[in-house]
Amino acid sequence: MNQTLAESFCEKYRVPATRFEQAMLSRCLYPPARLLQTLLRAIDADYFEPDLELIRATGQLRRANGLAAEVAEFNYHPANSGRLRREWKLRLSVTRLQQLVLDTFEADAVGGESMAPFPRTPAAQPLLTGNRK
């Protein structure tokens, strides 16, 4: 399959396409951000805009290896700074996003090539078999 992440995610988790961004955001926020989400949006309606921009860009990916470039842009986003976002982690977790991307694309890549930095192979077999003399 050559679906986008958004299409694969919505299919796998049975989420309507119109709810993709919010469903991803909810799964990827750090716990404190999840708890304070309503308050943060009441204070600033665009508070999660850097996170949503990353999710939108990630949703268009067709392979997991494009995630690194999107994360690099997210890290340097001008609105992605400050104590609340950086130190108190009131933002999206890149690690959670990465895991979700890998889990979603892995479902599409069954029998395909590995997305890990090293190919997945069966456990190494011992070089020597039998008895030594």
- Three-state SS string across 115-130, please? CCCCCCCCCCCCCCCC
- Among 76, 98, 93, 96, which residue's Cα sits nearest to residue 33? 93
What are the residue ranges in the chain where pLDDT is below 70? 1, 107-133
> What single-letter DSSP state applies at residue 45?
T
Please, are residues 69 and 9 in contact by the beta-carbon 8 Å criterion? no
What average pLDDT is seen over the chain? Answer: 84
Per-residue model confidence (pLDDT) at position 86: 87
Per-residue model confidence (pLDDT) at position 12: 94
Per-residue model confidence (pLDDT) at position 80: 85
Kindly compute the dihedral angle of the four CA atoms of residues 69, 71, 75, 81, in this order, to the nearest 10 degrees: 150
N-terminal to C-terminal alpha carbon distance within the chain: 53
Q: Find the angle CA(67)-CA(72)-CA(76) to the nearest 5 degrees.
A: 145
Distances (CA, A) of 16 to 19, 29, 55: 5, 20, 15
Per-residue model confidence (pLDDT) at position 92: 95
